[in-house]
Structure 1
Amino acid sequence: MTSSGPPTGVHRKRRAGAPRGFFACEAAGLAWLTVPGGPRVVRVVGVGEDHLDLERLEEVRPTPDAARAFGRALARLHDAGADAFGAPPDGWAGDGFFGPLDQPLPLRAAHDDRWGRFYADARLEPLRADLAGRGRLTPTAAAGLDAVTAALRAGRWDDDEAPARLHGDLWSGNVLWSRDGAVLIDPAAHGGHRMTDLAMLELFGAPFLGTIRAGYGEVHPLPAAYDELVALHQLYPLGMHAVLFGGGYGRDLERLLARLGV
């Protein structure tokens, strides 16, 4: 049921004609990301078919101390784990959503015990199809994606990391800073590799990013091949920007593929 407006002190996120379950999926993700010792997550007040009511947050300037605390809390959130690579959050079944409110695209769910296969099958293959469908798949990008996908399926980047509990769309705009520290909003929550969230923060930058990274490493050591893994995990979000917005994002994707050297 659609109400006339949000209650006082509540932020209403609304979209008429939203995909079925769009806001219920987001609400389930926010609940799943709320773990002991993890980052603060915006509180859900109510959910409807065309809207999500959230607590209204008062933003402040971030500080180095808040950034370090956020890094530590993010590591603890990831360590809370997930059932499998690609697993949706508790309380939601099936695919999720990725992208802006006005044109979200499906985020394929999976239940895989190998991250590389999951990333190839549920992220890069759909990305390739979406690029082709919009006439934005260049021969260079196609060849690069095919090579990376084959290497992923062969296990090149698999490691011993268990599935992490991911925000899934962790660019700086989805981290709000309050008097109580960082607050997570707008997730695409799922089980995946912890580097996915870290690479998203690196993609568009974040306040005191190096301090966030240092705080994270105090709780969970960062991999030695951090820079290479950042490039690998940025392929999907950067590629989706090419799908949605075109422009220079396609060329950025080609450069990122070239960095991986496969």
Structure 2
Amino acid sequence: MIGSRLERLLGVRVREVQDLGMNHRWRLHRAVLADGRPVFVKSGKVGALFAAEAAGLRWLGEAGAVPVPQVLAVDEETLVLPWLESEPATAPAAERFGRELAALHAAGAESFGASWPGFIAELPMDNTPGSSWPSWYAERRVLPFLRAAVDRGGLSKDDARLVERVVERIEALAGPAEPPSRIHGDCWSGNVLWAGGRGWLVDPAAHGGHRETDLAMLALFGAPFLDRILAAYQEVSPLADGWRARVPLHQLHPLLVHVVLFGRGYRSAVVEAARAALAAG
């Protein structure tokens, strides 16, 4: 079935399809076209999710900075991208990625948010545009996922109150005001694919946001050669004073996402990030 759908979308014969298993609510496939080209395919009944991912990839690609896969085809049940042969990260590739990530962020955005629906994994996010990052981040990212985490039993009311204290002080905790950056939005190490001596961005939750968010996400689960990435980034686009102390603030949203997706196992990380964000202020 997936083969015939691909043939309809791409207008070429599909030689073979390999099932790579499930990821969240969709299946992954590697398909080989009649001309020998391999492609990467996501399939599933996910509503607007694939269209949002495609819009984010195209928008990131317009910057001509960090490479992103070309969208070959998309509909409500399928997303088709070129197949990238991954390789181990290297220090030179990490440094290049840091410079290119700085250039991507510098491409900017019209506002905080985006004109397409937001998703992180299978969870919807409110991308309604805003002009102030602290209030936008609190209202569109932190509070909705805090409520969901409490509703699903991942956080207690006392935990929620701690996070709410961060929200109450967010104007003071957010650091110097910056214009909207063009960010990946879910830039943990698993969403940076190393191929051809470069870091490619995949699986975006792209929107106009704060550039420190992408860097905090890279640190959250340990990107390879992170020190090289950050040093190269700083050479191109120096970060505002105090940025390291603000890392927990930017990690608070993705950690809340993990509580919603995976439960109380991430509760202590949320509490620690909230406490660290408050202490930094």
Q: Is the TM-score greater than 0.5?
A: yes
Which residue matches 2:40?
A: 11
For the Cα contact (< 8 Å) 1:141–1:257, is it kept in 2? no
Alignment partner of 1:183: what SS? strand
1:3 Cα deviation after fit? 5.0
1:125 aligns with one of 119, 140, 143? 143
For the Cα contact (< 8 Å) 1:70–1:182, is it kept in 2? yes
1:190 aligns with one of 194, 207, 230? 207
- What 5-or-longer segments of structure 2 have no aligned partner? 7-30
Cα 1:156–1:180 change in 2 (3 A) is closer
Alignment partner of 2:200: what SS? strand
1:140 aligns with 2:158: yes
Letter in 1 for 2:50: F
- Of residues 214-223 and 135-144 in structure 1, the stretch that sits farther from structure 2 once superposed is 135-144
1:226 aligns with 2:243: yes
Alignment partner of 1:33: what SS? helix
Q: How does 1:30-41 map to 2 (within 5 A)?
A: 30-41=57-68
Cα 1:110–1:159 change in 2 (3 A) is farther
Letter in 2 for 1:98: I
Distance in 2 separating the partners of 1:158 and 1:11: 40
Letter in 2 for 1:115: W
Distance in 2 separating the partners of 1:176 and 1:196: 19
Q: How does 1:1-262 map to 2 (within 5 A)?
A: 3-4=3-4, 5=6, 6-8=31-33, 9-15=38-44, 17-18=45-46, 20-88=47-115, 93=116, 95-99=117-121, 104-152=122-170, 154-261=171-278
Letter in 1 for 2:154: R
Q: Give deviations 1:174-199, integer Å, cap 9, x for gaps.
A: 11111141111100000000011010
Q: Which has the higher contact order (CA 8 A, sep 6+)?
A: 1
Which aligned runs of 4 or more in structure 1 are off by greater than 3 angstroms? none
Alignment partner of 1:248: what SS? helix
For the Cα contact (< 8 Å) 1:115–1:158, is it kept in 2? no
Distance in 1 separating the partners of 2:92 and 2:64: 16
Distance in 2 separating the partners of 1:141 and 1:240: 15
Alignment partner of 1:236: what SS? helix
Distance in 1 separating the partners of 2:172 and 2:2: 48
Which structure shows the higher strand fraction?
A: 2
Distance in 2 separating the partners of 1:87 and 1:12: 25
Aligned length: 250
Distance in 1 separating the partners of 2:251 and 2:242: 14
Distance in 1 separating the partners of 2:54 and 2:265: 33
- Of residues 2-11 and 31-40 in structure 1, the stretch that sits farther from structure 2 once superposed is 2-11
TM value normalised by structure 1:
0.90
1:252 Cα deviation after fit? 1.1
TM value normalised by structure 2:
0.84
For the Cα contact (< 8 Å) 1:97–1:107, is it kept in 2? yes
Of all paired residues, the percent bearing the same amino acid is 44
1:37 Cα deviation after fit? 4.7
Q: Give deviations 1:33-81, integer Å, cap 9, x for gaps.
A: 0145511111111112111000001112211111000000001000100
- Of residues 31-40 and 120-129 in structure 1, the stretch that sits farther from structure 2 once superposed is 31-40
- What 5-or-longer segments of structure 1 have no aligned partner? none
